[in-house]
Chain A
Amino acid sequence: AQTVTQSQPEMSVQEAETVTLSCTYDTSESDYYLFWYKQPPSRQMILVIRQEAYKQQNATENRFSVNFQKAAKSFSLKISDSQLGDAAMYFCAYRSGPLMDSNYQLIWGAGTKLIIKP
């Protein structure tokens, strides 16, 4: 079974600086998707960025980028120019690729609380 591990329960960063959140996963599949979701105090889950395993190029969305290391099964999130509004819980999630029977389910990490210091 697939598992997702976020080893940092909490991280803090100074406003305007860069922070990297770690995520590792375990799978025997070759085709899958990885996601980072943000959960602000409002509780609603918001998609930050997505990576397809077959793509070698790291995904980027404005100030958010990932470092996807498929062989190492690592999927870290880098937030540049941190802003107060980035303060939230960040969750890493895994989903099997289209040929897998269980491809409707997201497997989630336990989350990392990101604190932004003004």
Chain B
Amino acid sequence: NAGVTQTPKFRVLKTGQSMTLLCAQDMNHEYMYWYRQDPGMGLRLIHYSVGEGTTAKGEVPDGYNVSRLKKQNFLLGLESAAPSQTSVYFCASSWVGQAKNIQYFGAGTRLSVL
């Protein structure tokens, strides 16, 4: 029972470097989400997707890009990392049905930008 899998689990970048975080889910969920979690704050939505080939901006989208080329995968990209992007990143997924809109989370990626 894999659920939602995020890779990598940890990463250290230098300012200006780029990277991609991968999220994969095996539950056939339509919706997928990327959040960031900072100390003393709740999760904040970066981008989300309501289906293959579609993405939308969340609360804090600046500095990030996403792609959903396959239903099971949702990629989060940082083109030019900044220290302000040091955070823990969570991916989540959920069904389409409103009554079951419970989000299932991955274990997170801890990213440090020096």
List residues of A whose CB falls within 8 A of some B CB. 4, 9, 33, 35, 37, 42-47, 50, 91, 93, 95, 97-98, 103-111
Contact = CB atoms under 8 A, between A and B. Distances in A.
A42 B88 CA distance: 12
A108 B105 contact: no
Contacts of A37: 105
A108 B89 CA distance: 15
B19 interface: no
Contacts of A4: 42
Interface of B: 31, 33, 40-45, 48, 50, 56, 58-59, 88, 90, 92, 98, 101-108
B45 A105 contact: yes
Contacts, number: 53
Contacts of B92: 45
Contacts of B59: 105
B105 A105 contact: no
Contacts of B50: 104
Nearest to B90: A45
Given A105-B48, A105-B59, A47 B102 contact: yes
User: 5 smallest A-B Cβ distances: which pairs?
Assistant: A108-B42, A45-B105, A98-B98, A43-B108, A108-B43
B42 A110 contact: yes
22 contacts: A33-B101, A42-B107, A44-B105, A44-B107, A45-B103, A45-B105, A46-B105, A50-B102, A91-B43, A93-B43, A97-B98, A98-B98, A104-B31, A104-B50, A106-B43, A106-B45, A107-B42, A108-B43, A108-B44, A109-B42, A110-B41, A111-B42
Given A4-B42, A45-B92, A106 B103 contact: yes
B86 to A, nearest CB: 16
B52 to A, nearest CB: 15
B35 to A, nearest CB: 8
Contacts of A50: 102
